Chains A and B, each alone.
Chain A
């Protein structure tokens, strides 16, 4: 196991270099922006040239580029993403207060995606070319081509506007405090609000995983050890659900690492449609107001989560599959 430790340390160093690259790229893109922040704020307030210069100096935007970058990196390394240029609040606080809503929505979605997709993919593979397989594969194909926002609009029009008690925006009834009400009331309230965004994310994410699970299971079923297991006279049940299934789940375990990394960026469109008060909504606001500090923090945190996700995926892979050499 000593070499596993070395492997992880090596991967961590690699990840660090990756993050430096991401910070450089993000910083460069933002430097290329034509309208400066001082102009943006100045225009709306009829500021004089002098006032604009003061504004730039206040935020250190008059310093040379490399100085600005170095200052920013030093702060980020200490976990400080600076203050929002618009609201003046620490960026990390703004993201932190939005994060629970996004994680809440995404964790429940991931749970349902796996709960539904894995059995469908497995049955599809075991009964390859059966009517079930054909319907599942075709539906997955439709699901992959369906734009999430269009599906969301369909649900709003055909379900939410016709069925009483399904709100189309927000996360909870305003003023409803979980301390004042019973658990059931709180649960039902949350469920009413989450049902639409949840359906959209789950059906959107289902297609890919069903196809992945089916391919992985088919791959396992066609292996020699399955033929051996059958030849030994094991029951089909044991062959499929013990020998084949276990091995087919290996790549799926790795996929979980990637799913984790999609948490931040994945729901921007959904949050915008359903006014879900998560980080995606914050990101869109930051982009429309050119709040550079928030945008940079977003790219960095997104990249950190992706790199961590890949790291977890790789380590999981090595741990669950002893055949992998590293």
Chain B
């Protein structure tokens, strides 16, 4: 999978016109993917809601006895209330904050570590590559979800910790992806050219190879965010998720044992998780087609 785009394979001149052309072309191709555009719109709305949640939530998400217990969704409580009479609508708005941040930060940690490790392994090769890849293999040899459970159970379950743990346990696959890119790109003529004029390793990797390896990294990041949201909600379902303020997964877990009395407590957060992950998958798919039309 080589992704060198003709637009950026020319020597880097420091002028941004070429890159603008690349991104506007990408945007042009992305716009034709109908489901990806709808998904992008849904994600933008969800992120806006997450940002302004404190201002639009009618109640404090943690306040109990705001309404009767288990009030079904209605005019006063658009998403009903829970076991302690808390307003689920407010809790869901705040939940968007938690779930979306967890996805974003966890995927960010995963892709940043993966990119650094993968770039070093692919660029330097030899012993560096061997050592780093063996470490990746060791982490990948433990079933991911179980490794996650082990670590989550041991450390304090704060929001930050859960983000970090998801990031720390999922970076090896990103490292392998980036390594593959660097392995093929380092043989390119423009890398040779840069080296011949005395460019340092840091400059070659950062400014010459990385931009050309960006397409699969971006696609992988998008899919990783959806994956991290799913992982957090699975942890939450077992009782090991983020609870203050609760993520969508924790909210769903809260209704797990009262399914017959208050099905909305499970259905609404569940649907939100499903739609968010679906949207990320569609955007990832659209980006893949847009960034590298030859792939399809």
Contact = CB atoms under 8 A, between A and B. Distances in A.
A302 interface: yes
Query: Of A24, A30, A146, which is in contact with the most chain B CB atoms at under 10 Å from its CB?
Result: A146
Contacts of A29: 150-151, 154
Chain B: interface secondary structure?
helix
Contacts of B239: 288
A80 B147 CA distance: 21
Interface stretch (A152-160, A172-180, A219-227, A249-257): A152-160
Given A18-B138, A21-B134, A145 B274 contact: yes
Interface stretch (A41-49, A106-114, A190-198, A265-273): A265-273
Interface string B243-287: 000000000100010011001001100110110011001100100
A153 B153 contact: no
Given A153-B256, A157-B259, A157-B263, A146 B238 contact: no
Contact of A153 (B147, B150, B154, B259): B259
Contacts of B44: none
Contact of A299 (B137, B146, B260, B267): B146
Interface string A131-169: 000000000011011111110011011000100000000
Given A32-B154, A269-B237, A145 B142 contact: no
Contact of B143 (A17, A145, A157, A266): A266
B270 A269 contact: no
A265 B134 contact: no
B50 to A, nearest CB: 19
B234 interface: yes
B281 A141 contact: yes
A154 B273 CA distance: 14
Interface in B145-186: 145-147, 149-151, 153-156
B6 to A, nearest CB: 24
B238 A262 contact: no
A32 B135 CA distance: 19
B274 A146 contact: yes
Contacts of A146: 274
A147 B277 contact: yes
Contacts, number: 128
Contact of A306 (B143, B263, B271, B281): B143
A197 B277 CA distance: 22
A284 B238 contact: yes
A22 interface: yes
B266 A306 contact: no
Contacts of A147: 230, 233-234, 237, 270, 273-274, 277
A307 interface: yes
A268 B146 contact: yes
B1 interface: no
Nearest to B270: A150
A262 B155 CA distance: 25
A30 to B, nearest CB: 7
A290 B277 CA distance: 32
Interface residues of A, number: 48
B127 interface: no
A161 B260 contact: yes
Nearest to A261: B143
B141 interface: yes
B138 A22 contact: yes
B238 A272 contact: yes
A77 B139 CA distance: 20
Contacts of B240: 287
B266 A157 contact: yes
Given A153-B256, A153-B259, A145 B146 contact: no
A18 B237 CA distance: 31
Given A295-B150, A306-B143, A21 B138 contact: yes
A1 interface: no
Given A21-B134, A269-B234, A302 B270 contact: no
Contact of B146 (A17, A18, A273, A302): A302
Contacts of B226: 145
A33 interface: yes
Query: Of A147, A262, A295, which is in contact with the most chain B CB atoms at under 10 Å from its CB?
Result: A147
Query: Of A24, A25, A145, A161, which is in contact with the most chain B CB atoms at under 10 Å from its CB?
Result: A145
Contacts of B281: 141, 144-145
A303 B140 CA distance: 9
29 contacts: A17-B134, A18-B137, A18-B138, A19-B141, A21-B134, A25-B138, A29-B154, A30-B150, A30-B154, A141-B278, A145-B278, A145-B281, A146-B274, A147-B237, A147-B273, A147-B274, A153-B259, A154-B267, A157-B259, A262-B143, A265-B143, A268-B238, A283-B146, A288-B153, A295-B150, A299-B150, A303-B141, A306-B140, A306-B142
| 6 closest A-B pairs by CB | A265-B143, A21-B138, A150-B270, A145-B278, A287-B153, A145-B277
Given A147-B237, A295-B153, 13 more contacts: A18-B137, A21-B141, A29-B154, A30-B154, A144-B281, A147-B277, A157-B266, A261-B143, A268-B145, A290-B153, A299-B147, A302-B146, A306-B142
Interface of B: 134-135, 137-147, 149-151, 153-156, 226, 230, 233-234, 237-240, 252, 256, 259-260, 263, 266-267, 270-271, 273-274, 277-278, 281-282, 285
